Chain A
């Protein structure tokens, strides 16, 4: 458009614009690096502090000493065994589960919103959670999977989730692959179907255990956390987040539409299928142990984008960490505010998250999908 000398002149004279572009076009800026370090530190501190809080309050330094002893096989006194049990057997797995599920939900939320190009999408929009509820309730009512012992219900929930995801994918599939809108519509519609199915099962088996199971799965809770169940979900979430992050640039490209994506060398049909499998597996693993915790996977992605921008390379690092910290504290409120009863997690995530989101959206003029 301009001659080459003029181009050089523009590039050199406009130093400020040049710096901006150099910063945002490339590697994570130092600012993002600092934010990640700060969030990591905050996460570790939060975990230690929150493990110490509850009906029995233990100061953070004591908690740290117990945790250190547990991890390194150190010695504790005989009269400390009860406290140690509370910390290590009951609270630690629960707090860690909260952190893991928090991280996973927001990472999956970020990916799904770009995958289906919809601001209202969350990890459950593709029917995974309602499928999990059906699976869990079916196992509670009909038995089965008893070989798996205490993990039978979780296994049922996971199988239900996977079956639902597969069904949604197959129904949404057309010759042109799965288009975003078809996928969302199919997921939403079939969720209603799964919920109806669950209601029918519960209606015909007036069994309080089935009702409790359904409530647990539709509200979400970390109350069932055990050391036994933790490694599987931790591994799935960790691998899932790393793989999604590796797809960061591809997710960036996908949001520009299928034609532009193709012209940039992204095989939209194949990528969507791959991401659908990954997000379904991660969501299914989380739902199987904690039920469907609402709101986090929908709103944390937006909040994080408001703060760090849209680039998935950054969002998929910051969102999981921020969301892990958030979930750890939300779970603390859930189990202490009206103890010994527990508030549903979704209630607290919404009560805290809604004002934060609205305030940020108004202040930053957040844009999603145009002005």
Chain B
């Protein structure tokens, strides 16, 4: 199922956070959304999992305008890894993952055998099955993050949006998660800060700067030294990965220009 943002503008109190954003994520592709802090990446994602309503424009899931669907319906097509998600209560990992079935179930309708199997497989895929009986409050940040991705998979969505999914993950789990996304049939829009991982994992990249889309295309087209300097304010050398052919960026701590572009 395609995901399409059509001229989406988000303004909060006259403060425009995202301006005229149009973006296509074709069925089955992984598109990376990159840009400096405060460039509107998370805001754009919020419109897709409906925590925000665009002030103008629309988000389309396949043939449907999202805003015309009931929330439960769209949660069956679109799953999200959000940036909040901490809980005060000590649910077990298995209970948390099972909540991914919430949009499919009424009231206290119990999980079917198929659904419990689905939960088990998602936990195995995210390498958290051994934690199934553990309390969420006892997990490390990375383990918790993987549990939330498992919960999103259990929603059986066609579209998956992830806000910095590699946060807190060790390097092995970062690579495993991104190759899982690549190998899946899902339509994926993912916000990433690690540009090298983004280049390796994504079919296409979209670059946001101050709420506007400034570049889009394959990683090789987008990730040029020029663009990284103008958007991120960092000087880099771009090399080609010897095995995969993906562009990879080499940073040097001395090369940070004295420009005002860094908004961290």
Contacts and interface: CB of A to CB of B under 8 A. Distances in A.
Q: Real complex partners, A and B?
A: yes
B256 interface: no
Contacts of B138: 367, 371
Contacts of A369: 88
Which of A26, A119, A246, A366 counts the most chain B CB atoms within 10 A? Answer: A26
A348 to B, nearest CB: 28
Interface string B122-155: 0111110110110101100000000010001001
A255 B87 contact: yes
B14 interface: no
Given A21-B129, A309-B95, A310-B91, A26 B124 contact: no
B108 A248 contact: yes
Contacts of B78: 263
A368 B88 contact: yes
B240 to A, nearest CB: 26
A88 to B, nearest CB: 37
Contacts of A370: 86, 88, 137
B55 interface: no
A20 B96 CA distance: 13
A250 B119 CA distance: 18
Given A27-B110, A252-B95, A368-B90, A20 B127 contact: no
A246 B107 contact: yes
B248 interface: no
Contact of A18 (B120, B137, B179): B120
Interface residues of B, number: 63
Given A7-B121, A252-B95, A259 B137 contact: no
Dominant SS at the B interface? helix
A10 B90 CA distance: 26
A20 B108 contact: no
A257 interface: yes
A259 B94 contact: no
A267 interface: yes
Interface in A224-276: 245-250, 252-253, 255-260, 262-267
A259 to B, nearest CB: 4
Contacts of B50: 262-263
Contacts of B105: 249
Interface string B70-91: 0111111011101111111111
Contacts of B83: 259
A17 interface: yes
A313 B51 contact: no
A25 interface: yes
A17 B125 contact: no
B90 A305 contact: yes
A181 to B, nearest CB: 13
A1 interface: yes
B238 interface: no
Contacts of B130: 14, 17
A252 B91 contact: yes
B71 A257 contact: no
Interface of B: 46, 49-51, 71-76, 78-80, 82-100, 102-103, 105, 107-108, 110-111, 116, 119-121, 123-127, 129-130, 132-133, 135, 137-138, 148, 152, 155, 173, 176-177, 179-180
